[in-house]
Amino acid sequence: MIPFAIYFFLLYNRRRLHDPTFFATFGAFYQNLSLTKIGHNRSKEGAPFRYCFYVLFLLRRLIFAVSLCKVFIELTLWNVMLQVLLSLALLTYLILVKPFELSRDNWIEMMNEFTILFAYYLCLGIITDDTQIDGVTK
């Protein structure tokens, strides 16, 4: 719930970014994001999806933390598969939206996601050799 509240807060307050007090308090949520690129609606405020990166980042971390809880820990294969799907979704977002001001930052985040995705694929190989889909060790 918190990542969605942050997203709506960012969208609602994007016009207040020129206020020095507001930017000093909440500017970290907009750090390195491209706020001046023209969005799909051709407005100078940019597309609302550009504000999503840190929200999606937090949401993915929240899902990862919940998947480590005792209730879900036995579903190892499903947890890794979910993380692979989330990583693919974030990578697709980075490729299509390019939310950062500098091209270099976009490439760095894409390489980070490729690295995380590769690590999850290695985990899938290890897990499927030792467990069945229901998580029971052979």
Measure the CA–CA gap between 77 and 127, rounded to whole angstroms. Answer: 7
- pTM for the whole structure: 0.73
Q: How does pLDDT run across 30-76, given as a tens digit for each residue?
A: 777 776 664 444 444 456 667 778 888 888 888 888 888 876 777 77
Residues 6+ apart with CB under 8 A from 121: 84
pLDDT, residue 90, reads: 92
Amino acid identity of residue 110, one-letter, is M
> Which has the closest alpha carbon to 60: 108, 120, 127?
120
pLDDT at 130 over 70: no
Q: How does pLDDT run across 81-94, given as a tens digit for each residue?
A: 888 999 999 999 99
